[in-house]
Amino acid sequence: MTQQSPEMIHSLAYGAYPARCLQVVSEIGVADRIDDEPVSVGKLAAACGAAPGALDRVLRLLASYGVFEERDGGYAHTDASRVLRADHPMSARPLLRLMGLPLHLDSLALLRHTVMTGEPAIEVLQSGGLWAYLQERPGDSEIFDRAMTSKAAADVPAVVGAYDFSPFGVVADIGGGRGHLLRGILDAVPDAEGVLFDQPGVIEALGFPDHPRLALRAGDFFDEVPAADAYVLMHVLHNWDDERTARILATIRKAAAPGAALLVIENVLPEERPAPAALTMDVIMLALTRGRERTEGELSALLDAAGFRFTGMTETSGTMRIAEARAV
């Protein structure tokens, strides 16, 4: 045992507290009350309706990690804390608000149940699991949607910058939500056309296409998807177990002509030494869904069984990896 081992264990043991501090300051909007100059904790507390002494201790902890800076009798921004502002182009505030909901906190408290049974903790809280939970709680569902939109906005530049979409005339974004990725692709490839495919409720909420080369299609990706030259699935397959993932892939293969591309964009795990962030997401999926973050080999086997040939992996500047396959 190295001398650092106890410190590492202690850091992990207490890790929920800094995370919860981040969630709380995001919920009450502390970062939005700081501009270019330090602000006293008294003014911050008054603006947020917080207790000054308690807020000071929470901000002091975050500042020790580089989130905010204690300076000139108050707290100032660092590059990290600016990302907590609601108006930051890559704002993490929606994601932190999501992580602070009972959805996550209660599921985390029930993780022992998941480890002992293999069943998602969320199913103890709500019959029907995650999607039923959100359907019955519109406020939480809105926070969830905002978090996913915010995360997509951060991921899209990394994906579009890493992969050449120009060979494809028609790109279909399957389960694409509000279409941030597809709009990014269309902006990068002036000759391409896009089809945004999602559940009827999602498509109806969007109204009319807001891009001249974007078409909206509603449906169920377990049953049917539109024809396209390339299909993109970002943050989709990891929500589902192998059986349902196989059904999604089979549906796409039925619509795809031989040679059509399929791009799976998510935390595809390398076979050796996956990053802790990706493995953390895998445990989140364990607690909240029946899905998982898959290794390259696991994903390749599912693609092969569905009639696709895995052709390679593209790294991005962010956490996402792009697995490419071709219909055979």
pLDDT value at position 158? 93
Average pLDDT over residues 133-146: 92
Distance between CA 31 and CA 92 in Å, rounded? 11
Contact call for residues 135 and 295 (beta carbons, < 8 A): no
pLDDT tens-place string over residues 53-99: 999 999 999 999 999 999 999 999 999 999 999 999 889 999 999 99
Report the range of poorest mean pLDDT among 20-29, 147-156, 312-321: 147-156
Contact call for residues 181 and 156 (beta carbons, < 8 A): yes
Greater pLDDT, 25 or 5: 25
- Split at pLDDT 50, 70, 90, the class of 220 is very high
Average pLDDT over residues 222-227: 96
- Split at pLDDT 50, 70, 90, the class of 234 is very high
pLDDT value at position 207? 83
- Mean residue pLDDT of the chain comes to 94
pLDDT at 254 over 90: yes
DSSP class of residue 271 equals: S
pLDDT tens-place string over residues 191-204: 999 999 999 988 99
Give yes or no: 238 in active site: yes
- Split at pLDDT 50, 70, 90, the class of 213 is very high
pLDDT at 241 over 60: yes
Complete domains list, the chain, with CATH: 5-86 (1.10.10.10), 145-327 (3.40.50.150)
pLDDT value at position 10? 87
pLDDT tens-place string over residues 264-273: 999 999 988 8
Q: Are strands 193-198 and 214-218 parallel, antiparallel or unpaired?
A: parallel
pLDDT value at position 2? 57
Residue 144: count other Cβ atoms within 10 Å of its Cβ.
20
pLDDT value at position 72? 93
The active-site residue, picked from 77, 180, 235, 238, is: 238
pTM of the predicted model as reported, rounded to 2 decimal places = 0.88
Angle, to 10 degrees, between the axis of helix 276-288 and the axis of helix 102-109?
90
Distance between CA 307 and CA 217 in Å, rounded? 24
Average pLDDT over residues 254-277: 94
Average pLDDT over residues 295-313: 96
pLDDT value at position 3? 54
Average pLDDT over residues 272-299: 93
pLDDT value at position 140? 93
* Structure-token pair, residue 298: 């696991």
pLDDT tens-place string over residues 100-130: 999 999 999 999 999 999 999 999 999 999 9
Which residues lie below 8 Å from residue 68, measured CB to CB, with a gap of 6+?
A: 34, 59, 62, 75, 76, 77, 78, 81
Q: How far is CA 16 from the centre of its chain?
A: 20
pLDDT value at position 8? 87
Distance between CA 99 and CA 115 in Å, rounded? 20
pLDDT value at position 148? 86
